[in-house]
Structure 1
């Protein structure tokens, strides 16, 4: 139902897509070239003949396995190219909203768990919470200046303005949450949806700066363009909003691009990246790279019944300030009582696929289940994240995690697992700062 401007370019390069909220987003890239998506045949009903020789459907069908899929090596290549050189991700399905209006600063203070009222040009990773302290969303919020044109990159407004970038699968849920809070609080704000008006191209990896130096008319040094900042710049002659962010744990930038400029900007990026070994990569690679780095996925690692404290995201909460925000009282009460459950990273040395919902045991006792799992190609291990509880009902402290012996049970087979309180990959966050 919804496709972005470079959909056809990617399909011609062998892209196999995933559906999210009506969008087709890249899943992975078939190395043998295009597998056309044929018109829906309704399984031969309504007088239609069933599609024959449907290569695309055959590729999808082979994914349904309890083993590693046949294209496991393809995902590996995309991941390792990102870790060692540079990869390009089409993330155009993201929700792209603007929060503006007379009460926008008041709304931002109340809606977002982090302090997003930094200097203009800042971008902040934050959560939005419900009154129980549960995570309704995680997203990035950028403070922007008013625009003087009708460009979707810089709308006109008075006062404070914020640009929200949100995973497309939950964009509608975020929209509804924000609108409900604005109405409940009587805040005079507008929420503008420009999701269809812009694409989003993410360039990630050790060579991303070298590549983008040839495309952007901007100084990309750490001093001029630090992590978690954004600027309006020209990319191959087209105005874009460049953000220095990463959802894969590498040096990288996101380019937020007006719809009509997406094709030439993408083509310029790929042309400049040829000598750096650039590749297209999809969301199967992002799933692997992000879990390896310990980045959370809303709907899996984070849900409305999980708090940021339990999820290891206390840094997204402005609890050290006096600024009130939705869910603050619940978080303060939880912090005072101590955590009764905690999200923990597990690695399994044996190369076995896991999918989520596997049982977690500590010293032989069941203490939780896996929320999300994937294979980490840089560390060459299966990685799983799950919330664990203390069987005695007590606090789940770091010492409780460190002192236990853990196993994960997959389809009746038990595997030894190592628990980690920090990401097993680049725990010091050097790579996103360009330190290799």
Structure 2
């Protein structure tokens, strides 16, 4: 496609220097009230009972253990949390939270999507750029991964959340809309000597595919449980704490998984993966790609899809097969992986 090279330039800038993404379309909400922690502890599969400033990546599950929402929850205060979810998911996700708050609990959902712009500054030089614009200590020790803090930037109060969907050091900067332009201009000016570029959503898609980050509505949804999606690490099963969907996960724990999400790479520069390509394991159809694209850092087309088997699926089953993808009517050899194709140890995001 005509945009292929342009997306590649944005992708490489994010990996090698820094990129600035306008993600204002994220849906945002406050969960407030004296029972906010208790309500979210029931609704969220991961642990949100953390000190103010902590950021939690979590799924919200239905009674069958399926993933209804995939989002981050930042604790702002004892009785206040900030929820950020994907573009266009706000109506669904915030309604799910409202309906899941246990009866009698003092917890309310306030949609603040239109109040805040979001600029995501990502890349190995993101810290240098942001530090040149503000007086706050942004060192790894002072501002670790998966934490948040309010900083001052170009005269604006900014909620800086150190999280990523592209697999690089960076911050989501949540800015009152009135200050968005001035903050953007300050970042672009400060970032010019460091190679900062504007980047868009196609670059985000390419970057997240290399890192194996899931997309709700494509790779995960109400029919997929965290273990099926390779997200069991984000579920507080060991704590024994009750949460919505836990009973279903406990019941399924002793049974074979019916499917498991895996990554596939095709080492052919002429191949484009778009999603819905059929997956063959040892010559048999076992699924289809839920998403696909191109990984500019690894130089290969990348796709994700569930490997299915009526007798059950585990990592050994997935990794022991020989795989092909049916692309435009032709079968092409593919490499399978259950780890990210890029930075599998997540060393870059912790910087």
TM-score class, shorter: over 0.9
Could you say which residue in structure 1 is the equivalent of 2:47? 115
Indicate yes or no: 2:306 matched with 1:387. Answer: yes
Unaligned runs of 5+ in 1: 1-68, 146-158
Question: Given the alignment, which residue of 320, 344, 347 partners 1:427?
Answer: 344
Could you say which residue in structure 1 is the equivalent of 2:79? 160
The superposition leaves residues 118-175 of structure 1 with CA deviations (integer Å, 9 ceiling, x where unpaired) of 1111001001010010101111101112xxxxxxxxxxxxx52111011122111101
Q: How does 1:266-345 map to 2 (within 5 A)?
A: 266-345=184-263
How far apart, CA to CA, are the structure 2 residues paired with 1:279 and 1:324?
45
How far apart, CA to CA, are the structure 2 residues paired with 1:343 and 1:185?
36
TM-score under structure 2 length normalisation? 0.98
Could you say which residue in structure 1 is the equivalent of 2:10? 78
Indicate yes or no: 2:185 matched with 1:253. Answer: no
The superposition leaves residues 363-413 of structure 1 with CA deviations (integer Å, 9 ceiling, x where unpaired) of 0000011000010000000000000112xx222111111210000001211
How far apart, CA to CA, are the structure 1 residues paired with 2:304 and 2:296?
16
How far apart, CA to CA, are the structure 2 residues paired with 1:418 and 1:408?
10
Q: How does 1:60-75 map to 2 (within 5 A)?
A: 69-75=1-7
How far apart, CA to CA, are the structure 2 residues paired with 1:403 and 1:228?
35
Deviation at 1:332, TM superposition (A): 1.4
Unaligned runs of 5+ in 2: none
Could you say which residue in structure 2 is the equivalent of 1:89? 21
Could you say which residue in structure 1 is the equivalent of 2:149? 231
Deviation at 1:186, TM superposition (A): 4.1
Q: Of the two structures, which has the highest relative contact order with CA contacts closer than 8 Å and spacing of 6 or more?
A: 2
TM-score under structure 1 length normalisation? 0.79
> Is the partner of 1:319 in helix, strand or coil?
coil
How far apart, CA to CA, are the structure 2 residues paired with 1:120 and 1:161?
9
Indicate yes or no: 2:318 matched with 1:401. Answer: yes
Kept in 1: contact 2:37–2:48 (CA 8 A)? no
How many residues matched?
Answer: 350
The superposition leaves residues 72-95 of structure 1 with CA deviations (integer Å, 9 ceiling, x where unpaired) of 000000000000000000000111
Deviation at 1:334, TM superposition (A): 1.8
Indicate yes or no: 2:175 matched with 1:243. Answer: no
Deviation at 1:338, TM superposition (A): 2.6
The superposition leaves residues 287-310 of structure 1 with CA deviations (integer Å, 9 ceiling, x where unpaired) of 000011011111111111111110
Instruction: State which structure, 1 or 2, has the greater radius of gyration over its C-alpha atoms.
Output: 1
Deviation at 1:196, TM superposition (A): 0.3
Kept in 1: contact 2:121–2:172 (CA 8 A)? yes
Q: Aligned-pair RMSD on alpha carbons?
A: 1.0
> Is the partner of 1:262 in helix, strand or coil?
helix
Indicate yes or no: 2:113 matched with 1:195. Answer: yes
Could you say which residue in structure 1 is the equivalent of 2:332? 415
How far apart, CA to CA, are the structure 1 residues paired with 2:211 and 2:279?
21
> Is the partner of 1:109 in helix, strand or coil?
helix
Could you say which residue in structure 2 is the equivalent of 1:134? 66
Could you say which residue in structure 1 is the equivalent of 2:91? 172
How far apart, CA to CA, are the structure 1 residues paired with 2:146 and 2:112?
22
How far apart, CA to CA, are the structure 1 residues paired with 2:197 and 2:24?
17
Deviation at 1:102, TM superposition (A): 2.6
How far apart, CA to CA, are the structure 2 residues paired with 1:102 and 1:212?
34
